[in-house]
Amino acid sequence: MGKTIIVSNRLPIKIVHEDDSFYYVPSEGGLATGLSSIYKEGENLWIGWPGQSIKKPEEKTQITKDLKEENMIPVFLTKN
């Protein structure tokens, strides 16, 4: 089977930042729910915004590392 790459405006998770740690909570919604089993298999990927504006480079690095383990690639956006 080939590699599936999902590109959407949001990743299927929400980031919660508490006590200098990041927690990842599944998003509600049709697309995230419907495709949740697909992107987690093999080398499939989901590319999108992680739902928060992250400014510190070390936080971006940590989030990228954490999400890579879940077959997700975050695209960090700025407000400007």
Mean pLDDT computed over 29-48: 76
- Distance, CA of 11 to CA of 53 (rounded, Å): 13
- Distance, CA of 38 to CA of 32 (rounded, Å): 10
Residues 6+ apart with CB under 8 A from 43: 3, 71
The residues spanned by each domain of the chain are 5-74
* pTM (global) more than 0.85: no
- Distance, CA of 52 to CA of 7 (rounded, Å): 17
Determine what percent of the chain is predicted with pLDDT higher than 90.
Answer: 31
